[in-house]
A and B are shown apart, each in its own frame.
Chain A
Amino acid sequence: MTRPIRLLIVDDEARLVETLSKRLTARGLYVEGVHSGADALALLQGKPFDVALLDVRMPGMDGLTTLREIKKLQPLLQVIMLSGNASINAAVEGMRLGASEYLLKPANIDDVLAKIEEAFHKKLIQEERLAAQHGPGA
Chain B
Amino acid sequence: MTAATQGGAKASLWEPSRLLRRSILALLLTPPACLVFLGLAIFFWGPDRSEAFFVPLLAALILSTALGWPLAAKLRHQLAALARQRDAFYQELLRLSKSASLGEVASSIAHDLNNPLAIMREEAGWIQDLMKGGDLQGSHTQTEIANSLQQIDIQIERSREITRRLLQWGRDSAPRTETVDINLLLNKTLYLLESELETAGVTVAKDLPPDLPPVGGGAPELRQVFLNLMKNALDAMKARGGTMTLATRADAAGLTITIADTGPGIPASSLDHIFEPFYTTKPAGEGTGLGLPISRWIVEKLGGTIGVESKEGSGTSFHVTLPVQAKKDAPGP
The residues of A with any CB-CB pair to B shorter than 8 Å are: 13, 15-16, 19-20, 22-23, 26, 57-60, 62, 84-87, 104-109
Chain B CB count within 10 A is highest, among A15, A58, A85, for A15
Assess the B110–A19 pair: CB atoms within 8 A. Answer: no
Known: A23-B122, A107-B121. 13 other contacts (CB 8 A): A15-B151, A19-B126, A23-B125, A23-B126, A26-B129, A84-B110, A84-B112, A84-B118, A85-B111, A85-B114, A106-B114, A106-B117, A109-B125
**B15 at interface, CB cutoff 8 A:** no
Residues of A with C-beta under 8 A to B114:
84-85, 104-106
Residues of A with C-beta under 8 A to B112:
84
Residues of B with C-beta under 8 A to A87:
107
**B161 at interface, CB cutoff 8 A:** no
Chain B CB count within 10 A is highest, among A13, A22, A62, A106, for A106
Query: Would you give the 0/1 interface string for B115-134, flagging 1 where the beta carbon is closer than 8 Å to chain A?
Result: 10111111101100100000
Assess the A57–B126 pair: CB atoms within 8 A. Answer: no
Assess the A15–B119 pair: CB atoms within 8 A. Answer: yes
Assess the A22–B126 pair: CB atoms within 8 A. Answer: yes
Assess the B107–A106 pair: CB atoms within 8 A. Answer: no
Which partner residue on chain B sits nearest A107 by CB separation?
A: B118
Cα of A71 to Cα of B234 in the assembled complex, Å: 29
Assess the B201–A13 pair: CB atoms within 8 A. Answer: no
Shortest CB distance B160–A (Å): 17
The residues of B with any CB-CB pair to A shorter than 8 Å are: 107, 110-112, 114-115, 117-123, 125-126, 129, 148, 151, 198-199, 201
Residues of B with C-beta under 8 A to A19:
119, 122-123, 125-126, 148, 151
What are 23 A-B interface contacts by the 8 Å CB criterion? A13-B115, A13-B118, A15-B119, A15-B151, A16-B115, A16-B118, A19-B119, A19-B125, A19-B126, A19-B148, A20-B122, A23-B126, A26-B129, A57-B199, A58-B199, A84-B118, A85-B110, A85-B114, A86-B110, A87-B107, A104-B114, A105-B114, A105-B118
Cα of A105 to Cα of B125 in the assembled complex, Å: 14
Shortest CB distance A70–B (Å): 19
Q: What does DSSP make chain A's interface, helix, strand, loop or mixed?
A: loop
Which partner residue on chain B sits nearest A13 by CB separation?
A: B115
Cα of A115 to Cα of B110 in the assembled complex, Å: 23
Residues of A with C-beta under 8 A to B120:
106
Q: A15-B151, A59-B198 are in contact. Are A106 and B110 (CB under 8 A)?
A: no
Residues of A with C-beta under 8 A to B151:
15, 19
Cα of A108 to Cα of B123 in the assembled complex, Å: 12
Residues of B with C-beta under 8 A to A60:
201
